[in-house]
Each structure stands twice: as C-alpha cells, then as structure tokens.
Amino acid sequence: MDATAWALIGVAVVAITAAAGAFVVAFRRSRPEPRPEPDATAGVSAETRQADRSRAGVRLEPIQAGTPTLVEEVPETEEEAPVPAPVASDAVEVVETQRVVEVSPEEAGVTRRQFFNRAIGTAFGSYLGLFSLASLAMLWPKLSGGFGADVVAGAINDLRTEVFNPDRTVTPVYIPEARGYIVPAPDDLGEQFSDVGVVAGGLMALYQRCVHLGCTVPWCESSQGFECPCHGSKYDMVGEYSAGPAPRNLDRFVVEERDGDLVVRTGSIVQTPRAASPIVQYPQGASCIGF
C-alpha cells in the first residue's frame, strides 16, 4: 500500500474512534449526576436531634381521604424510648393535599436535556460512522487487490510470448483486473516514456479508458492500433495519439518486474501529451471503425 492508502486508513480509524467517543460522551452527559443527600439536621442543636427521632425508621402510609394523617413509628432500637403518638383531636385536623415524592432516575424517565444530548450525540456519531464507512469503501479496492491496487499480470516471459506474434504483428493481452492491455514497449522510448517507470521486461500497460470522454477502447487487429468507437479517436499499438478528438495519448500505468512477474500498479496512472512524432507506424491495415 502506498502513503495515500495508509493516510486514508488513518483517517478512517480516527473517525471511527471519534464516533465511538461521541456516543460515549453523549450518553455519559445525559446520565444525571448523583445528588448528595440533603442534611435535614443541619443547624439543629444536639438536644433537638436527640429528641427528634422521627426520621429514623419511618414508614409513610397512604393517606385515606377525610382522615387525619397519622404516622406510625417503628422503634429503631429496643432501648429507644417510645415516642408518644400524636393525638388526633377535633381542634387539629391535618389535611394533606399534595405530597412531594422523590423518585429514582429510572422512574423519572428521560428529561428534555437528556433527550437532546442523546440526539446530538447519535447524529454526530452516525455522521462520523458513515464517513468512516465511505472511507473504507473507497479503500476497499486497494485493500482487496482489485483495480487501484497492484495487479500481477503474469510471468513476463509468458506475456511476451502472447504479445509478440511470429509474423511480427502484436496482440495485446487484456488484463480485466487492471482494466488495461499489456503491449510491447518500443525499443526507443523517446522522451515521453523514458522517465516515468512505465516499462518493465520490454512491456507496458495501457489503461483501456479513452482519454476523450471515457469510452472503453478496443484493440483493432487489422490496423494494429486502438480505435475508439464513440467519436473515432485512434491510438497506435503503444497508445500514442494518432487521430480524433482525444487530447493526449492513452493513459498508462506504472509497471514493475517482481520475481519474473509483471506487476501493474493501477493506482499510479501516467498521462502523456499527444506524440509530436509517433514512435511506431499506424495504421498497418484496415480500420475497425467507420470514422
């Protein structure tokens, strides 16, 4: 993998980590902070605390409508002196119309702030997640060895045998994975191909895509060139421009020789300008298209 692939992998990893972080932060923020228990006896004298045992062991009973509210005390310890029960009388009537009851966070449900925090976190995390998936999808061909990665076209000796015919004509070898043709390299590369690493083992690899508007350019055996059926651009057997609206030569890939194999680096495409003086003769016979 080249530096670009590693950079994209890094971006994807960072985005996935950020997405996970966003989820965690959002859900942690939405959880209510535990509140300290209020000290109901703050500021109360020791004598009063001793006398007031009402908070310990108290059980609240449902209130019956129309009856005075009584509280049943449960002694906390055996030594504790029983506290006289309040006496209901006609003079004092305790009427409780509303009771404030503290509930747990689970009982309280989701507050509006929690809802918005979670919504924002989910949206942000989803965006980063989708971005990560898109990055990985873009990287997938490079990771899986398809177009965009290095493609092993085959043994150079075998390819040369297929490309060069006994009658001195050539037949390019089509490599579907590379979306291109293996063609012979001319003995004299000229200025346009000499410095760009597009020759290995006497062979070159041409991209099948027409440089005019992108049609696939087929090989024409009779003319010994590539002829585009869409608008009539024509290129010789090494991809040099010959005729038609194409603005430059056919694009080609950087190639390498590895252990006797020809490796086509389909992630590295080389563009060259129209040939001022083509290296090979074209056409060498009848054209395959009507242009």
Q: Which residues bind ligand FES (CB under 6 A)?
A: 210, 212-215, 228, 230-233, 244-246
- Of residues 117 and 233, the one with the C-beta less far from ligand FES: 233
Residue 18 to residues 21, 130, 133, 134, 136: CA-CA distances in angstroms?
5, 12, 13, 15, 15
- Of residues 129 and 232, the one with the C-beta less far from ligand FES: 232
- Of residues 247 and 260, the one with the C-beta less far from ligand FES: 247
Q: From the CB of 169, what's the least distance to ligand FES, in Å?
A: 24
Of 184, 196, 195, nearest to 156 by C-alpha is 184
Q: From the CB of 211, what's the least distance to ligand FES, in Å?
A: 8
Of 109, 103, 114, nearest to 31 by C-alpha is 114
Task: Tell whether the torsion through CA atoms of 205, 211, 213 and 217 is positive or negative.
Answer: negative
Residue 162 to residues 12, 150, 165, 172, 211: CA-CA distances in angstroms?
42, 21, 7, 8, 26
Q: Is 51 exposed, middle or buried (0-12, 13-18, 19+ CB in 10 A)?
A: exposed
What's the CA gap between 221 and 129, in Å, rounded? 50
- Of residues 23 and 207, the one with the C-beta less far from ligand FES: 207
- Of residues 154 and 218, the one with the C-beta less far from ligand FES: 218
Q: From the CB of 220, what's the least distance to ligand FES, in Å?
A: 13
What's the CA gap between 201 and 153, in Å, rounded? 12
Count of helices and strands (H, E) across the chain: 6, 12
What's the CA gap between 41 and 38, in Å, rounded? 9
Q: From the CB of 218, what's the least distance to ligand FES, in Å?
A: 11
Query: For residue 261, what are its two tokens?
Result: 């194999």
* Amino acid sitting at position 149: A
Kindly report the number of other CB atoms within 10 A of residue 269's CB atom: 14
- Give the residues across from 72 on adjacent strands: 59
Q: From the CB of 186, what's the least distance to ligand FES, in Å?
A: 23
Q: From the CB of 158, what's the least distance to ligand FES, in Å?
A: 31
Q: What is the DSSP letter of 63?
A: P
- Of residues 199 and 210, the one with the C-beta less far from ligand FES: 210
- Of residues 118 and 209, the one with the C-beta less far from ligand FES: 209
- Of residues 10 and 214, the one with the C-beta less far from ligand FES: 214
Q: From the CB of 209, what's the least distance to ligand FES, in Å?
A: 9
Query: For residue 14, what are its two tokens?
Result: 């960072």
Q: From the CB of 18, what's the least distance to ligand FES, in Å?
A: 42
